[in-house]
Amino acid sequence: MTQSKKWTWMMLKENIHTKILNGTYAPDDKLPKDADLAQEYGCSRSTIQRAMSELSHMGVVDRRRKGGTCVVPLRETRAMITIPIISKEIAQQGKTHTYKILHRAIAIAPAHVLAGFKVPAATKMLHLQSVHFADNVPYIYEDRWVNFKSIPAVLDVDFSVENANEWLVKNRPYSDWTLSMHAINAPQDIAQIMHIGKDHAILVIERFTWHQNTPVTAVKLYTHSGYSLNTQG
Amino acid sequence: MTQSKKWTWMMLKENIHTKILNGTYAPDDKLPKDADLAQEYGCSRSTIQRAMSELSHMGVVDRRRKGGTCVVPLRETRAMITIPIISKEIAQQGKTHTYKILHRAIAIAPAHVLAGFKVPAATKMLHLQSVHFADNVPYIYEDRWVNFKSIPAVLDVDFSVENANEWLVKNRPYSDWTLSMHAINAPQDIAQIMHIGKDHAILVIERFTWHQNTPVTAVKLYTHSGYSLNTQG
DNA sequence: AAGTGGTCTAGACCACTGA
DNA sequence: CAGTGGTCTAGACCACTTG
């Protein structure tokens, strides 16, 4: 039925996905094995493999050696989100990015930072608090701890000029990270900085980064009112 | 230097990523072309291709035909997030999921729903408001519009028993969607439903789904206090 | 132990796109 | 139009896992 056509892996992915969506393959059904599908579609097994591994990655099917390929019954939505580089994001909106540092100190990192890093002992880190503006309107407030032991040069940087995130991305890339998003009511100090009312709801993006198991930086980004993260699939 | 070893695409990905992280390949540098890398590592071009296309997908490098492969200078963080199936998520926490429908009506969808669907004309849809509980504590409030023209059977379902999201996932899978996350202060009615104070900050997840260009459902999930979305890379 | 998906190879051709 | 990445193939072997 499906021969005589040239199938790319992308077309295969969509074709099989459609068959799953329209019930040709129902939830929990077992799909034919790759070799049989290859014959059915008249293509090589590698091409089937490529399509199916995408579907597996999307959470649409579950693939196991020896077990075969099944349609996942209650599929979750998986989305790739991009945490933008702040200055780029602001520039894309046609606005001017400026940046101001409010606080710089070396201090023992608070418990939640140590916990997030999974570092048990109290450790001194560089504490940086700063604000990003878009056309002089507060855009994001950034509260950051930097483990300067992993990158001593950070102590010599003049962060009144240089943006901490971008300096770090350039000078101490990370290999692993965690990310968490939640909502909070703005406490008094942040409300004042962001020019919003106390208790105004803000989206907080919290990120921990490591480089080969060494903590690099922990940052909380307190977004401006109305900020949203978007994606599609 | 790197021969005599058996390289898998995963090892290659990590090895090349490390070289980018440690500056062997600096931002904006051009990497050797796939064929040369294949020779350098003593593997086939397909294997290099697999590793590099992963790095490209991660946003670490930029690949162009004829242009070659470059290290992206200011790399964004890209994360795969999973929007869980509510009942599963609650079960995973060892709690009991229950569900209650508060409102069911057919009405003209409000402007923001029509706009999100990119449907210009006023359209009647099924409006469902419900709450999910974890051990009888409000967990998520769900405000949903269903385009019943795309799935008439939805009008006959007894949503006092059946969970709308899961019924839809089973009976009208979607092919395309958008997702948006932001924070709001709980309005009076939602605060009351969720047993929180008015203006308490909550994370809202808003999703529009289509099936082959036909709107299926628009849903806003108002999460409980303290909810967070997590991911890692 | 056998079956199925995961990976690797060597080679071919195609599709962009930059010079 | 020439160079580079993207895809496809046919076949081989490996790794996991289930019966």
Q: What is the pTM of this model?
A: 0.88
Q: Under 8 Å CB-to-CB from B124, ≥6 apart: which residues?
A: B106, B107, B108, B109, B148
Identify, with chain letter, the residue nearest to nucleotide D3 (CA–C1').
Answer: B66
Does B185 reach chain A within 8 Å, measured CB to CB? yes
Residue A74's identity, in one-letter code, is: L
**Is B33 near strand D, with its CB below 7 A from some atom of it?**
yes
Q: Are residues B77 and A59, on separate chains, in Cβ contact within 8 Å?
A: no
Q: How confident is residue B137, by pLDDT bands cut at 50, 70 and 90?
A: very high
Q: Which nucleotides of C are covered by protein (CB under 7 A)?
A: 2-12, 15-18
Q: Are residues A173 and B200, on separate chains, in Cβ contact within 8 Å?
A: no
Is residue B56 within 8 A of residue B68, CB to CB? The reply is no
* A134 compared with A232, residue with greater pLDDT: A134
Mean pLDDT of all residues in B51-64: 96
Report A:109-148 residues touching B (Cβ under 8 A).
Answer: none
How confident is the model at residue B4, as a pLDDT?
59
Mean pLDDT of all residues in A92-108: 95
Q: Assign residue A45 a region (left: φ > 0; alpha: ψ between -120 and 50; beta: otherwise).
A: alpha
Q: Which residues of B touch A85 (CB under 8 A)?
A: 74, 76
- What value does the mean pLDDT of chain B take? 92
Report d(CA A195, CA A193) in Å as an integer. 6
Give B157-205 pLDDT, tens digit per residue: 999 888 898 888 878 777 788 999 999 999 999 999 999 999 999 999 9
Give B85-116 pLDDT, tens digit per residue: 999 999 989 999 999 999 999 999 999 999 99
